Amino acid sequence: MKKIISLSLALILMLSVSGCAAKTSLANENEGAVVAKDLFENASPQTSALGFFHYNGETTTLQYLFSADSINKVLGELSSVPAIHTEEWSPEQITFPVYGINIMDINGYPLEAAWSNGYLVMQDGNVYRFDYDFAKLTDNYSFSPQGTWNSATMLPSAEHLFKDADGWHSVLMKEAGDLTPPEGITLEINDISENGLTVQIANKTDSDWTYGEDYSLQVNLDGKWYDIPTAAGVNWAFHSIAYLLPAGGKTEQTYSLAMYGALPGGNYRIIASGLTAEFELN
Give residue-wise pLDDT tens across range 135-192: 999 999 999 999 999 999 999 999 999 999 999 999 999 999 899 999 999 999 999 9
The candidate with the shortest Cα–Cα distance to 236, out of 263, 255, 264, is: 255
Per-residue model confidence (pLDDT) at position 31? 56
How far apart, in whole angstroms, are the C-alpha atoms of residue 53 and residue 43?
Answer: 17
The phi, psi pair for 6, rounded to 5°, reads -65, -45
pLDDT(10) > 90: no
How far apart, in whole angstroms, are the C-alpha atoms of residue 272 and residue 149?
Answer: 20
Contact predicate 126/85, CB 8 Å? yes
Contact predicate 201/185, CB 8 Å? yes
Task: Give me the count of residues in the chain.
Answer: 282
Instruction: Determine the 3-state secondary structure of 102 from DSSP.
Output: strand
Question: Average pLDDT, stretch 111-117?
Answer: 97
Enter the pTM of the model. Answer: 0.85
Q: How high is the mean pLDDT of the chain?
A: 89
pLDDT(1) > 80: no
Q: Cis omega (within 30 of 0) on the bond before 181?
A: no
Task: Write b or e for each residue in 213-236: b if 16 or more Cβ atoms lie within 10 A of its Cβ, otherwise e.
Answer: eebbbbbbbeeebbbbbbbbbeee
Instruction: Determine the 3-state secondary structure of 75 from DSSP.
Output: helix
pLDDT(24) > 90: no
pLDDT tier at 14, thresholds 50, 70, 90: very low
How far apart, in whole angstroms, are the C-alpha atoms of residue 67 and residue 85?
Answer: 30
Instruction: Determine the 3-state secondary structure of 203 from DSSP.
Output: strand
DSSP label at 179?
A: P
Sheet with 33-35: strands ordered across? 33-35, 82-86, 127-130, 119-122, 110-116, 98-104, 50-55, 60-65, 144-149
pLDDT digits (tens, 9 = 90+) for 29-66: 455 577 666 899 999 999 999 999 999 999 999 999 99
pLDDT(13) > 50: no
The phi, psi pair for 178, rounded to 5°, reads -70, 150
Contact predicate 98/115, CB 8 Å? yes
Question: Average pLDDT, stretch 225-238?
Answer: 89
pLDDT(23) > 60: no
Sheet with 275-281: strands ordered across? 224-227, 216-221, 266-272, 275-281
The candidate with the shortest Cα–Cα distance to 190, out of 258, 277, 259, is: 277
Rounding to the nearest 10 degrees, give the CA dihedral for residues 43, 45, 47, 48. 80
How far apart, in whole angstroms, are the C-alpha atoms of residue 221 and residue 277?
Answer: 16
